[in-house]
Amino acid sequence: MARPLASFHLIVTIATLLTVLGLVMVLSASSVEAYAGGGSAYALFVQQAMFAALGAVAFYVALRLPLRFLRQWSFPIFSLSVLALVLVLIPGIGSIHGGARRWFDIGPLSIQPSEVVKLTLIVWGAHLLASRRGAQLKDILVPLVPAGLLVCLLVVLEPNLSTTIALGIVLMALLWFGGLPVRLFVGIMVTGVVAASVLALSAGYRSDRVRAFFNPGDDPQGVNYQARQAKYSLADGGIWGRGLGQSRAKWSYLPNSHNDFIFAIIGEELGFLGCMLVLALLALFVYTGIRIALRSVDPFLRLLTATATTWITAQALINIGYVVGLLPVTGLQLPLVSAGGSSLAITLFMFGIIASAARHEPEAVSALQAGQDGRFSRLLRLPVPEVYTPPSAPRKAAPRARTERPRQPPRRQPPADRRRRAPESRGTSSLRSTRAWEPTYPMPHRPVKRRTGGGSGT
């Protein structure tokens, strides 16, 4: 852990292990249903593998993206993702699956814009808050909070309450790590919980899930069927599990076993030890994400890494929580493990951004400048990360020595009306160069050329 690139290697390892585990479990959990539906037993696995390959490419692209480019295009890409949320609601453009209009069907692939907007909101929100450090409260809340509420409203109209909850977690994490006062943060959080409760009780299927959670013994063949079958699967696995591919629940006993309830199949086939392996990888991810955020000197990377870690961890805990019966069923997927192409590719891209942040730690930058890339970095031909230089305060001019100068006639002053300037609103001059929609904000990063000589890397 004392090595300069330890955080980078941990993120790559965690992403690889979770993705491989997810591919194996999706193949095991979906083969029976896919074959019973008249197709190939490998149909869902092939689709998941295609998105995993696409996510691997996205991971590599994220490693090579300069931070200047990432920040400069954060708002335009966020705007496009919001436009996609609007277009998916239009009949004839968005596709309906399971009673919800959430997808764009492009050939054999289905893309879910609500998954993309999680990523774009994190990147743009981190850039916005990092650019407005020390600003007034109004400048912190606007336009981040109105944009977040608009996105949540569009996702609710699909309808998709689970993704709305994930977006709410992202927005609250941005505000918390952005330095919002605790009293105001608690007020916004309470308002969000109340709104989520109202939405959960407003629709029939959502209210049925809440009722099933508070009455687990009622209607075992109806609203409580899926939750009870998940617990039976976990109990059937025991400590060691029944063995890989030997699940009984996947034989049409547990609906959505390859997606929302894949953790139950892991518990049945790999046992308690397999579940603990997943939890251990998540705990290691939390530790690594916090480590990267604390060691980063760039405020943008600190906000982005902390928010992304909170989002991925909270989504995983919610999924595991409703599988084991601690939370109502929401439909949030287990990141990198559950079947879901858009979610897998977007999450891998976010892991790539976190890995890039790990390479921007001060010790990692020093080591990479000295040529201590490591085999993995040399294999991928990754560029040397940019050095962060904090914006310096304006320096006071040094007093000059008094010298005898010939007197000059006084200059003619312009009229008073010409010397007047248009009044600026409070905070306009300080925030003019940090508006979210302008590409000319200050970004104190500069590329560094690699040194050929050796070095200690410290």
Question: How confident is the prediction for the chain on average, in pLDDT?
Answer: 83
Element (DSSP H or E) covering residue 18: helix 6-36
d(CA 103, CA 111): 5
Give the C-alpha separation, 280 to 275, whole Å. Answer: 9
**Tens of pLDDT along 145-155?**
999 999 999 99
Residue owning tokens 């609710």:
156
The pLDDT of residue 440: 39
pLDDT for the residue numbered 85? 93
Provide mean pLDDT across the span 284-307: 96
Please report which confidence band the pLDDT of residue 445 belongs to, taking 50, 70 and 90 as the band edges.
Answer: low
Q: Which region among 162-166, 261-265, 290-294 has the lowest average model confidence (pLDDT)?
A: 162-166
CA distance 342 to 339: 9
Helices (H), 132-181: 137-141, 144-156, 161-177
pLDDT at 203: 64
| Span 355-374, pLDDT tens digits | 999 999 999 988 888 877 77
Residue 403 in this model has a pLDDT that exceeds 50? no
1 pLDDT tier (thresholds 50, 70, 90) = confident
Give the pLDDT band (50/70/90) at residue 218.
confident
Question: What pLDDT is stored for residue 421 in this prediction?
Answer: 44
- Residue length, the chain? 458
Q: Is the dihedral of CA 170, 174, 177, 181 positive or negative?
A: negative
The pLDDT tens digits for 42-90 are 989 999 999 999 999 999 999 999 999 999 999 999 999 999 999 999 9
